[in-house]
A and B are shown apart, each in its own frame.
Chain A
C-alpha cells in the first residue's frame, strides 16, 4: 500500500517538474506571450483588457526567462555594420501607438504602400492602437516582453526605453546612408537618451499649419454667420456666442444641439486637464506645464488660476444647459461622431484629434464646419497657439529587442529616409499624383490637388497616410527636386485646398485681409528649447516626479466632472480647494524642477 502511494506521489512530482522545466524554457514562453500579444492586438482595448491583463500577468511570471534570452540575442546581433546590408526580401511587423486613420492597410492596400514595398523589398505588417490608451498597450507589451520588429513609441518612449525594449541605433546612424540627410547633429543630440545612445528616430520635425491651425477654440460656421462673421479672440465673447446659439437653435436635424463637448477618453482628456487653459493665458503647448518665456521656468498647469477659469467655463456651460450632458462619459469615437453630426457649436481641441470627425462633417453638414480661433483672456497680449517650429526627439521609430534581424530592419529605416521614399510617402507616384515641372520642382494639377485635399481620397492612394515615416524635415527642401517634402506647405496647396463652401465663407473675411483659416492666428516662431510635452515623454516612468504628474492627471479627471457638475458657486469653490489640497500632497514640485532643468539644458541644441 505504501509503495502504491509513493509511486503515485513520485509520478506527480515528476510530472510537475517536467511542466515547470518546460515552462521556463523559451519555447513555451513564446507561445504564452504571443497569445497575450495577439489577445491585446486583435480585440478592443478596453473590452478585453481584463482578459489580456490576466494572460499578461501569467506571461509576466515567465518573462524573466524570456528577457534574459532576448538580451543575449541582442548582444549577439550587435551590428558590425559597414555600409549597407543586403536587401533580402523580408517580412516585418510594426506597431504604431496611435489609432489608424483608415480601415485599410496602408502598406498593402495602397498604391504608395505597394511602391514602397517594391523599393524597400519589405512586406510590412502594420498594427495600430485600438482606443486611445497607448501607455496601457505599452505596459501589456512590456509585461509580456515580446515586441514587433519596429516600434513607433508614441507617448510611451520612456516606458519602452526603461524596459530595454529598443536597441541602440548609433552604429546604424553612422554607417547607413540617408540618415544624415534627415537629422543634424543637434537633432541627434535631442534624440539621445540619458545613457548616451539613440533608440528611436523622430518623425516630429518642425512644421507649420498654413491652412488649418493646429489647435484652437472652435466655433461652428453657422454660429459665426449669425454673428456676422467675427474673428473671435475674447474668451467671454466665445462663450456668449455658444450660449446664444444654443438658445436660438435648441435642435438640429431633430436632435438637440450640443453647445460644448469635450474628449475624456484616456490621454485625450488632456484637453480639459491642462490642454485648453494654457492657450487662454497666452502660453504655448508645453505638456503638463507652462514655461515662462523669460525665465524658462516650468509650472504645473492643473492647479493654476487660469485652469480654474477654464473649468469654471465648463461649470457655467453645464448650468446653462449648453454643455453636452454625455461629455464625461463618451469614448473618443463617440466624440468624433458627435462632431461629424454637425450638432456641436463649440469646443476646444487640437486639430489632429478631431480631423476624422471634421472630414465626415464636410460631407454631412459643411455649413456647420468647425473653425478654430485664438481665444484668450482679456489682457493677454500675445497668443501662442501655433507655437514654436520645433524638432522634438520625444518619440519616434525604433527597432525592438525582439527583432530577429536588426540589420535588415535598420536597412529598411535607412531606405525610408531616402528622397525617393520620402517623395512617395508625401507626394505620391509621379505621373499619377504629381508631375515634375521644367525647373525640376514637383507640382500637382488642379484635379490632383483636389484629390489630395480630401483626406479620404488622399489616404486611399496612401499619400500622407504613413505619417510615422515622415522622417525628412518638413521645412527643408529635398535636395534632388528642390521641393518641400510636405505638399501642404507649398503655395499650390494653399491655393487649391479650400473647397467652395470654405472659400465662400472666407470671402466674408477678405476685406479684413484674412485669406486662410490660419491667418487670424499669430505666426509660428523658431523654438528656443525642447517643448514640455516632448520632455515629458522622455522622463523615466519610474521617476517619482513622472508618477506624481501621472497621478495628478488621474485626480484631475476625477475632480473636473465633479466641479463642472457642482451646481452652485460655493460647492465649486469648495471642490476646487479640495482638489488643490489633494494635488499638494503629491511631489509635483519635483516635476517642475526636473522639467525646468531639462528645458534649460535643451536650449543649447536650438541655437
Chain B
C-alpha cells in the first residue's frame, strides 16, 4: 500500500521514472568514479590555464593592484619576444638538445634492451638490468656533481685517461666547452634513463612467441639475424608509440638537468627555452614575459605532437590518436 501511494505521488509530481537521484547515483557509481581522473585533469591541467592571462598584461604581483586592474598590453609581450634574437637562440638550443636526446636515448635504450635480452644467464641478466636502471633514481643534483667531477680538468677521470693514453696533452675543461654541451646533456640523459627505458622494451620482448625463434633456429638463422628478423619487428609498434610520445615532449628538455649542468661558459649553447623562461620570470621578475614564452612553448609542443602522429600514420596507417 505504501508502494501504491509513492507511485501515486510520483505520478502527481509528473516524474516519469520510478528511481530517485541517489538510486541512480548508486547504480552509476562506476561512472562517477571514472569521472574523477577527468576531473583531476580539468582541475590541475586546465583550470590553472586562466593564469595565461598574465601574458597579455604587464603583470606585477602586488597587494595593491587586483588581478584585473593590472595593465593590459595585448600582444606586446609576444611582439617583444619575437623581436629578441636570444629567444630564437633558446628555441634552437631546445630543439637541438631535445632532438639529440631523443636520437641518443633511442639508440642506446634499444641497444641495451636487445643486448640484455640476449643474455642467457638469468642472474647476470637481472643484475645488469638492476644496475643499469639505478641511475634513473639518482637526483640530477647528484648526477650533475658526478659529471662535473669526472669531467673536471683537475683530476677528472676522463682527462686522466685521455692524458695517460697520450690522446691529449693538456686537460680539457669539458663542462666549459660551448660546443660539447649538447652532447654532454644528451649522453648524461642516456646514462640516467637508458636502463629504465629498456624495461618497457624488455617487457615486450618477453611476450614474443618463442616458437618464432625456434623455427628461425631450424632455418639456420644466427643471433644477429634473429634480432633483426624477429626481435626488432616485434617491438616496432612499441617503438613507434614511444617515439610519438617523446616527440611531443621534445621542447620539455628537462629544466633541472640543463640548469644544473650549465656554466657561464656555456650560456650560449645551454640556454634552452625553459631556462630562458626561468631567467625572465624568476630572475628579472618579468612574469608576463615568462608566461608569454611558456604559451609559445605549449603551442609548439602541440604542433609537434600532431606532426609526429601524422607521421606515424603515414608510415603504416595507424597513429596513436
Contacts and interface: CB of A to CB of B under 8 A. Distances in A.
Interface residues of A, number: 63
Nearest to B49: A61
B141 interface: yes
A83 interface: no
B267 A557 contact: yes
A165 B285 CA distance: 14
A76 to B, nearest CB: 13
Chain A CB within 10 A, most for which of B38, B42, B50, B281: B281
B299 interface: no
A49 B60 contact: no
B63 A401 contact: yes
B21 A256 contact: no
A71 interface: yes
B268 A133 contact: no
Contacts of A143: 61, 281-282, 287
Nearest to A167: B63
Contacts of B14: none
Contacts of B285: 135, 138-139, 142, 159, 541-542
Given A50-B256, A61-B50, A554-B279, A565 B63 contact: no
Contacts of A58: 48
A20 interface: yes
Chain B CB within 10 A, most for which of A67, A136, A329: A329
B6 interface: no
B78 interface: no
A12 interface: yes
B48 A16 contact: no
A145 B61 contact: yes
B47 A20 contact: yes
Given A71-B64, A164-B64, A329-B175, A50 B255 contact: yes
A15 B42 CA distance: 11
A311 interface: no
A12 B281 CA distance: 35
A163 interface: yes
A349 to B, nearest CB: 16
Contacts, number: 159
Contacts of A565: 176, 265
A12 B152 CA distance: 56
A387 to B, nearest CB: 27
B286 interface: yes
Interface in B240-265: 255-256, 259-260, 263-265
Contact of B66 (A4, A68, A328): A68
Given A8-B32, A140-B282, A325 B21 contact: no
Contacts of A551: 284
Given A47-B141, A560-B264, A16 B39 contact: yes
Contact of A329 (B31, B139, B255, B265): B265
Given A329-B263, A329-B265, A557-B267, A16 B62 contact: no
B25 A7 contact: yes
Interface of A: 3-4, 7-8, 11-12, 15-16, 19-20, 23, 44, 46-47, 49-50, 53, 57-58, 60-61, 63-64, 67-68, 70-71, 74, 133, 135-136, 138-140, 142-143, 145, 159, 162-165, 255-256, 264, 269, 325-326, 328-329, 401, 541-542, 547, 550-551, 554, 557-558, 560-562, 565
Nearest first, the 6 A-B pairs at minimum CB distance are: A329-B263, A164-B63, A64-B67, A61-B51, A47-B141, A50-B255
Given A19-B39, A143-B281, A326-B153, 15 more contacts: A3-B17, A7-B21, A8-B32, A49-B282, A74-B63, A136-B283, A142-B285, A162-B60, A163-B63, A255-B154, A326-B176, A329-B176, A547-B284, A550-B283, A561-B265
